[in-house]
Amino acid sequence: MSDILQSPFVREMAKTASNMYSHGWDERNGGNISLLLDCEEVKEYLDTERVLRTIPMGFDASSLKGRLFLVTGTGKYFKNVEDDPETNLGVIRIAKDGCTAELLWGFKDGGRFTSELPAHLMSHMARLAVDGGQRTVMHCHPTNTLAMTYVHTLDEREFTRTLWQMSTECIVVFPEGVGVLPWMLCGTNEIGRATAEKMRDFRLVVWAQHGIYGVGKDLDEAFGLIETVEKAAEIFMLTARLPRLNTIDDSQLKVLAEHFGVNYRKDFLNL
């Protein structure tokens, strides 16, 4: 059996966590990631019949029972993941009762999965119903996106349109726009359900005064979505108090979307 520390999923998760920390998106123990794994691939590295311990989830994820996830741990710092993956990450399986996680590897210090696991699993369920290839859920606190929620209306049509106008690539990268939630208490099933509801229409959901959720087929895609939003938010924050002499207008956004053949939210433009 191969060394799980050399598995592509552990190595890529560790690399991504370090990258997110270096971007300043995951201060202290902020942020969390979950990755839906391929069971046959995991069997090359783990005895999936050997359960180290069980952990109650406080949430019914019966539609995901038997599925395996690599998840970040609660209270863990992203800056430490690359040096010590086995303490800061865990491979879990959703048990037959749907309400328990079976730990197959990781959290070797007795830790457990992120407190926002229910929100992650709800988002996984919502996105898998839309696109079975989307296997990553990523949450972090990008500085400019967070700042933008203090000075911009939280109407998701206007929020999206502003982001689209900040950079030519935005409407191409997230043509469906960005979902936006008002401030809500984090780490609860309530915000998890609200996020999952938005995930039916969006791959990105902004939590006002908190951060963002992004999904993708892999870690790179989810990271890239968030990175693009954050760059656009940075440009907005740099120019928000300045007279705008030029912009990408709605007719140009339409030309962009149609040139690249993306299915954009036409109702988010003034045409």
Beta strand 204-207 with 211-216: parallel, antiparallel or unpaired? antiparallel
- Structure tokens belonging to residue 263: 């299915």
Q: Catalytic: 116?
A: yes
Compute CA distances 101 → 56, 87, 259, whole Å: 6, 17, 46
Specify the 3-state DSSP secondary structure of 34.
Answer: strand
Q: Cα–Cα distance between 137 and 218 in angstroms, integer?
A: 9
Amino acid 43 reads K
Q: What residues contact residue 124 under an 8 Å CB cut-off, 6+ apart?
A: 34, 36, 64, 69, 135, 137
Closest CA to 166 of 234, 264, 263: 234
Report yes or no: 218 and 144 within 8 Å, Cβ to Cβ: no
From 116, 156, 227, 234, the catalytic residue: 116
Distance linking the first and last C-alpha atoms of the chain = 59
Specify the 3-state DSSP secondary structure of 220.
Answer: helix
Question: In angstroms, what is the C-alpha Rg of the chain?
Answer: 19
Which are the catalytic amino acids?
Answer: 116
